[in-house]
């Protein structure tokens, strides 16, 4: 049996370059693994089946589940005649832009190569991850990365240190697919330079970096749900160096330079929201416990 922490991610910047012929979009993004995590338990069972169990009734337990897809991919490719029970203990809010489903799938893929003694180089595991979802390669890798393509082409950056994230997930559920379908690249008010942002980061100017973070998908999600912009405004009021919607939403994070500042903001937002967290950047995306 294996028990794995599956870390969430946030997008510190997200630009969409173009729509591809395969229906996906080419993006440029800076992604960060954070300490907010789900717990995935992989348990061998006698039956030659994949059984999904979860403490969240909104999560599918059939072949629609990304953990199921990860296990099925390994079983089919490597002719595995063993069964597994996958227990998903959710702490990462769903439909929040935090990569929870992809992180769970990454943990399942990575863990089952060990449980089933599939000896693969890490690059092969990453290629398998691409078949499950665009965020899965990063959530197998962790740390701080600059990602291009669909999000699967990863360039590692120096670790982000000395900051804390306050994450607020409003009672809004967002479909990533619908957000991208609604995105009109011709009507984005202001195009930011991710190159300039990377320069701030590489120069370790976290204040300037934080003040210039951006996410073009806010032009869809925040337009539909103005509450997202209100949360961002309140984050800055409470002392955040910068604030942004993560991924396609609906979660919003603020970057704080001290734990005390983050804790004050946490207590403030907990007056109105159920899903509020403090997290730190981490170099890991997966951890066996």
Instruction: Parse the chain into domains and list their residue ranges.
Output: 2-156, 164-279
* Confidence at residue 20, expressed as pLDDT on a 0 to 100 scale: 83
Query: Among residues 9, 145, 139, 7, which one has the least CA distance to residue 70?
Result: 139
The closest of 77, 81, 87, 80 to 56, measured between CA atoms, is 87
The residues, any chain, with a CB within 8 Å of residue 267's CB and separated by 6 or more, are none
pLDDT per residue over 260-287, tens digit each? Answer: 999 999 999 999 999 999 999 999 999 9
Among residues 5, 9, 169, 238, the one annotated as catalytic is: 9
- Among 17-21, 37-41, 82-86, 172-176, which is the least confidently predicted range? 17-21
* CATH number belonging to the domain at 2-156, selected among 1.10.1670.10, 3.30.230.10, 3.90.1150.10, 3.40.50.150: 3.30.230.10
CATH classification of 164-279 is 3.30.70.890, yes or no?
yes
Taking each helix axis from N to C end, the angle separating 122-132 and 66-78, rounded to the nearest 10 degrees, works out to 130
- Measure Cα distances from 77 to 61, 91, 138, 239, 250 in Å: 22, 31, 22, 50, 35
Selecting among 15, 38, 104, 135, the annotated active-site residue is 135
Is residue 135 annotated as a catalytic residue, yes or no?
yes
Res 255: pLDDT: 98
Q: How buried is residue 22: exposed, middle or buried, by Cβ count under 10 Å (0-12/13-18/19+)? A: exposed
For 249: left if phi > 0, alpha if psi spans -120 to 50, otherwise beta; the answer is: left
Look at residue 191 and tell me whether its pLDDT is greater than 90: no
User: Is 38 designated active site?
Assistant: no
102-158 pLDDT, tens digit per residue, is 999 999 999 999 999 999 999 999 999 999 999 999 999 999 999 999 999 999 999
Q: Has residue 190 got a pLDDT over 70?
A: no
Provide the whole-model pTM. 0.95
Q: Alpha helix (H) ranges present in the chain?
A: 66-78, 100-115, 122-132, 136-141, 176-182, 194-202, 206-211, 218-224, 227-237, 259-269
The dihedral over CA atoms of 47, 48, 53, 58, expressed in degrees to the nearest 10, equals -140
The residue-averaged pLDDT of 163-187 equals 90
């Amino acid at each position: 049996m294996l028990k794995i922490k599956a870390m969430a991610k946030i997008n510190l910047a997200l630009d969409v370059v173009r729509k591809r012929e395969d229906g996906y979009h080419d993006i440029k993004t800076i992604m960060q693994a954070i300490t907010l995590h789900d717990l995935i338990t992989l348990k061998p069972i006698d039956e030659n089946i994949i059984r999904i169990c979860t403490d969240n009734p909104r999560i599918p337990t059939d072949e629609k589940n990304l953990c199921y897809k990860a296990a099925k991919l390994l079983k089919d490719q490597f002719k595995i005649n063993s069964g597994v029970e996958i227990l998903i203990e959710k702490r990462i809010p769903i439909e929040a832009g935090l990569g929870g489903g992809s992180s769970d799938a990454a943990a399942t893929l990575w863990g089952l190569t060990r449980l089933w003694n599939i000896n693969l180089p890490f690059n092969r595991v990453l290629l398998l991850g691409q078949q499950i979802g665009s965020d899965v390669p990063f959530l197998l890798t962790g740390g701080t990365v600059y990602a291009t393509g669909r999000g699967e082409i990863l360039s590692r950056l120096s670790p982000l240190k000395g900051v804390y994230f306050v994450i607020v997930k409003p009672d809004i559920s967002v479909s990533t697919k619908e957000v991208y379908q609604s995105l009109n690249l011709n009507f984005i008010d202001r195009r930011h330079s991710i190159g300039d942002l990377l320069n701030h980061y590489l120069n370790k100017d976290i204040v300037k970096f934080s003040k210039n973070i951006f996410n073009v998908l806010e032009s869809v999600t925040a337009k539909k749900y103005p509450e997202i912009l209100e949360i961002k405004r309140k984050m800055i009021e409470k002392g955040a160096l910068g604030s942004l919607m993560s991924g396609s939403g609906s979660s919003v994070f603020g970057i704080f330079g001290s734990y005390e500042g983050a804790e004050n903001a946490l207590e403030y937002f907990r007056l109105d929201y159920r899903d509020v967290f403090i997290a730190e950047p981490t170099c890991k995306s997966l951890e066996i416990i």
